[in-house]
Structure 1
Amino acid sequence: MVKIPKSHPRYWSLLYREKIIEGMERGITAKAGLIAHGRGEAFDYLIGEKTIKPAEEAMRAAVAKLLLAKHPVLSVNGNVAALVPRETVELAKVLRAKLEVNLFYRTEERVKKIAEVLREAGAEEVLGINPTKRIPGLESERGKVDEEGIWKADVVLVPLEDGDRTEALVRMGKFVITVDLNPLSRSARMADITIVDNIIRAYPRMIELAKEMRNYPREKLEEIVKNYDNSRILSEVLIHIKDRLTKLAEEGIWRRERLE
């Protein structure tokens, strides 16, 4: 990995970009994952590279639903394994959820390498290595799932996801949660709960929320989920982007005097 000086104004962005590149070099991340990451960075700029209020509300609802679930599962792809392996494992543990590797560009070698990364991060069990079931209507390799994992799950967290699998899981009757920086994507619009945030911020925050909310009475968790409206949240994200861009345009993005 290229060493990036912490004094660099884009330190964190460049660091996680390098993690994706390193993931590709290790055989964890597919080439298409680099494109997806760049697209996500663009939307992160638009929201201001911070966790906004609609994302916080979505995270609370997501954690509540996962804590209520009988068989919660966290899906893991190459980008997730490259960016937040330890956070993924910790989140699964605090939620008492299973981990399952699921890939669009699936090879047995990639699956085993991702499983190894998760085990190095502390995972005791990783599903998806030998899938025995297929999601109905999904012909890609992503349709292959573990009978004890996504196939059995009632609630599935599918971050950085393709819209076709999100839609297919919804058709199966699963409650689907996604983390997606693009509020206009099919995944964002098809999911039951969409967290429009960078996963490097979302997962640590969800861990904090899960540790707090696991002590809530069931009735309180159910109330949080009941009051959640994903359409409203996505609309609020778009309004946030519109208002932010309007403000930037009115104030002027480039202020040369700041550099003089």
Structure 2
Amino acid sequence: MHIRLSFITFSLILFLVVDMVKIPKSHPRYWSLLYREKIIEGMEKGITAKAGLIAHGRGEAFDYLIGEKTIPPAETAMRAAIAKLLLAKHPVISVNGNVAALVPKETVELAKVLNAKLEINLFYRTEERVKKIAEVLYENGADEVLGINPTKRIPGLESERGKVDENGIWKADVILVPLEDGDRTEALCRMGKFVITVDLNPLSRSARMADITIVDNIVRAYPRMIELAKEMKSLPKEDLEKIVATYDNSKVLSEVLIHIRDRLTKLAEGGIWKKEKLDI
């Protein structure tokens, strides 16, 4: 009993100490650490699943490889994505726990500028998580959130991610599914949906299956996509159609891999231990 109480006391003290830690803005990894904390906070609030922490860490690794910045292939993909979403009759933006933890305000703003619907879709779905994510979206200005009471199921998808709203993803012609599982991307493509994803891993099944893949950190991608949407809304329909028609996702993914290869080659040749060589 004494040991059990001591362990509980120690755990409580450790939690309080960790909770009190503040990241100084002078820290060279300030933004990276801040977004890690957002994911951890999301998990503690019941918004993000435990697996979401693993997914975020995997994404961080690829962000290192591309240089932690928006690269030209990502900009090309974002322009094509916005053009397609502006042309869509029923655009939908899918929201999971990591998205709600990292970019809730930007998600709502992007949906509004694109006149797109928001739908919660979770692999580790519980009614409690769904309600908490909906609350976060409403707190950040959402007028409507779908996916709370899904009535349809994506054919061939047995996981909880198969549950969709008949007025949202089920009806959508174009769907933005950031930080996505490959199985749902593939299933949506089989349904004839045009799928856009944001994925830092250019080798993932989601990245390879999607019609448009934005290889960028969502915390950089969404603000830039909002800017592009505001700029491109006034473009003629013909111009938007041309942007989409000339886009080649395989080519863009190849360009991402070439960028990573060249960047790693330069780092290796210059000596990665030299601070001045890292920013290339």
Aligned residue in 1 for 2:67: 48
Distance 1:89 1:31 in 2: 24
Tell me the CA shift for residue 18 of structure 1. 0.1
Q: TM-score of the superposition, structure 1-length normalised?
A: 0.98
1:99 is the counterpart of 2:114:
no
Q: Matched residue of 1:200: which SS?
A: helix
Counterpart of 2:224, as a letter, is R
Distance 2:227 2:161 in 1: 30
Farther off after superposition, 98-107 or 1-10: 1-10
* Aligned residue runs from structure 1 range 121-132, under 5 A: 121-132=140-151
Aligned residue in 2 for 1:10: 29
Distance 1:209 1:178 in 2: 16
1:63 is the counterpart of 2:82:
yes
Q: Matched residue of 2:213: which SS?
A: strand
Aligned residue in 2 for 1:158: 177
CA RMSD of aligned residues (A): 1.1
Q: Matched residue of 1:111: which SS?
A: helix
Tell me the CA shift for residue 246 of structure 1. 0.1
Output one character per residue of 1:80-117: Cα deviation in whole Å (capped at 9) or x when no partner. 00000000000000000000000000000000000000
Q: Matched residue of 1:177: which SS?
A: strand
Counterpart of 2:23, as a letter, is I
1:81 aligned residue (100, 114, 131):
100
1:172 is the counterpart of 2:191:
yes
Compared with structure 1, are the counterparts of its residues 126 and 256 closer, same or farther at alpha carbon in structure 2 (3 Å cutoff)? closer
2:205 aligned residue (179, 183, 186):
186
Output one character per residue of 1:192-246: Cα deviation in whole Å (capped at 9) or x when no partner. 0000000000000000000000000000000000000000000000000000000
Uncovered stretches (5+) of structure 1, i.e. residues with no partner: none
Counterpart of 1:10, as a letter, is R
Uncovered stretches (5+) of structure 2, i.e. residues with no partner: 1-18
Q: Matched residue of 1:70: which SS?
A: coil
Distance 1:33 1:214 in 2: 33
Aligned residue in 1 for 2:166: 147
Aligned residue in 2 for 1:219: 238
1:209 is the counterpart of 2:231:
no
> Matched residue pairs, number?
258
Aligned residue in 2 for 1:249: 268
Distance 1:255 1:45 in 2: 16
Q: TM-score of the superposition, structure 2-length normalised?
A: 0.91
Compared with structure 1, are the counterparts of its residues 148 and 11 closer, same or farther at alpha carbon in structure 2 (3 Å cutoff)? same
Counterpart of 1:129, as a letter, is I
Counterpart of 2:64, as a letter, is Y
Tell me the CA shift for residue 256 of structure 1. 7.8
Distance 1:255 1:204 in 2: 32
Distance 1:176 1:235 in 2: 19
> Which aligned segments of 4 or more residues in structure 1 are displaced greater than 2 angstroms?
255-258
Counterpart of 1:247, as a letter, is K
Output one character per residue of 1:51-105: Cα deviation in whole Å (capped at 9) or x when no partner. 0000000000000000000000000000000000000000000000000000000
Q: Which has the larger radius of gyration?
A: 2
1:119 aligned residue (128, 134, 138):
138
Tell me the CA shift for residue 3 of structure 1. 1.8
Q: Matched residue of 1:178: which SS?
A: strand
Q: Percent identity?
A: 88
